Structure 1
Amino acid sequence: MRRVLLVVSVCVPILLGAQAPAPPPEVSTSGFAEVRLPADRVLMRFVVQTGAATAVQAASLNGDRVRRVQAALAALGFRGNDARATGFSVAPNYEYREQRRLVDYQARTQVEVNLKDMERMGAIIDAALGAGATEVGGMQFISDTAEKARIGTIAAAFADAKTEASALVAAAGRQLGPILSMTTGSVARPMQAMERAQFSTAAAGAPSVEREVVVSYQVQVRWAIAP
């Protein structure tokens, strides 16, 4: 009997010590901040697409048309990197009915125009399309102060999350403890928020689009609740 009692008295402390402590109470909140900046310039993208019976012919036709587009833009003062060709591709174009049939080869190039005077967008669109561009592929409005604004939105988003967390724990009669974890991320890339514009030939002859850059940031924070 003494031996059994001795074994039990040794095991009890070990079992009690193996129990994990309860996790401390915590609260999780998210914060958001956004700022809208006027655009300082716009990057316009024109698509030049051509088709031919062979890949070589399609590429050759495409090159000729791209040069015509660049010449038209050069006449408006856009040369070098201000009107550069990018993203060339050529691929077979198939038709699928009862069986696959090769229709032709399609070559495609983008011509990018870097523009500061945004009142000239309408004239540039007319010139590019008139010289052989097949469509306006998109416009990217850029603000030179976007990076500085992004840093500001990070701080504002964190302050938003902390304000909410403090209000929650105060309502429960407690105090906010240290940060347990934090996840951050831009909601949208501020300098690459590209939209496919719908164009209007009204009044000034420029596309009817909002010329601004939206910089936004979101943060999620887990906080301990102080005892």
Structure 2
Amino acid sequence: MTDAHAQTVNAPAVASDSTLLSVSAQAEASRPPDVAALSTGVVTQAPDANAALRANAQQMAKVVAAIRAAGIAERDIQTSGINVHPQYDYRDNQAPTITGYQASNTVNIKVRDIAKVGDVLDALVASGANQVNGPSFTIDQPEAVYDEARRAALEKAQARATMYAQSLGLRVRRIVSISEGGGFQPPMPMMKTMAMDARMESTPVSPGETTLSANLDVVFELGR
């Protein structure tokens, strides 16, 4: 997908018989993602904070063991938060009272084999994880995809500049400057919920495609 618009500008000094034209062009390139990121963790409750945290640690140890058993490398496992806070009972016209404590532990993980995402999700829940968010999909080495989008955007800008020049009875002499922006459009993952049956099928996940975009502002010198 590409898009462009143009305007004349007052920019770098050029020959007196020249006109400067600024063209903005945008293009996209898509690839199937090769990395899935998700967060998972455990929430536990107990009458006191120590008990809540101990129970959480025991359950979370099983979750982390399941993550490692699924083949997730240590560099792709990162704790994102550990929290303990009281739970209150609110009654009308009365001061709130503490009824217990809740502990939570959350880790972020990256799955580098997209085909295993469903199995990883199932392993997390089976090991005791009661919080799962994601997955979100990305491209691990995106530069080649960005370059494809950049080339398409530049071609779009050049074609648009040529069109304007010809309409004015001029020609494109040279490119004066190029500036670049960028963008990222994550795919919308689809997780289909279904009851577990005797076959123990893994959770279906559809990674879709990841779209990267390039935005260029190109200044052309036009003349006869």
Pick from 206, 220, 224 the counterpart of residue 223 of structure 1: 220
Q: Taking structure 1 as the reference length, what is the TM-score of the superposition? A: 0.66
**Secondary structure at 1:148's aligned position in 2?**
helix
When you count helix as a share of all residues, which structure comes out higher?
A: 1
Larger radius of gyration: 1
Q: Structure 2 matches for 1:1-227, cutoff 5 A?
A: 25-51=19-45, 57-74=51-68, 76-78=69-71, 80-81=73-74, 84-90=77-83, 92=85, 104-116=101-113, 118=115, 120-143=116-139, 146-188=142-184, 193=186, 197-201=190-194, 205-226=202-223
Structure 1 residue runs without a partner (length 5+): 1-21
Would you say the 8 A contact 1:177–1:225 is kept in 2? Answer: yes
1:60-86, CA deviations, whole angstroms, 9 ceiling, x for partnerless residues?
A: 433222211123344x54365277342
Contact map agreement 1:43 1:113 (CA 8 A) in 2: yes
Which has the higher mean CA deviation after the structures are superposed, 144-153 or 203-212?
A: 203-212
The size of the alignment, in residue pairs, is 201
Gaps of 5+ in 2: 1-15
Read off the aligned partner of 1:157 and give its amino acid letter.
Answer: A
RMSD value, Cα:
3.9
Q: TM-score, normalised by structure 2?
A: 0.67
1:100 and 1:55 map into 2 onto residues whose CA distance is 21
Q: Identity over aligned residues, as a percent?
A: 21
Q: Structure 2 CA distance, aligned partners of 1:59 and 1:138?
A: 25
Shift, 1:59, TM fit: 4.1
Distance 1:100 1:173 in 2: 81
Q: Deviations over 1:181-224 (max 9, x none)?
A: 433122117xxx47565434499644342343322211122334
CA contact (8 A) 2:146 2:212 kept: yes
Task: Summarize the Cα distance change of 1:90–1:217 in structure 2 as closer, same or farther, 3 Å threshold.
Answer: same
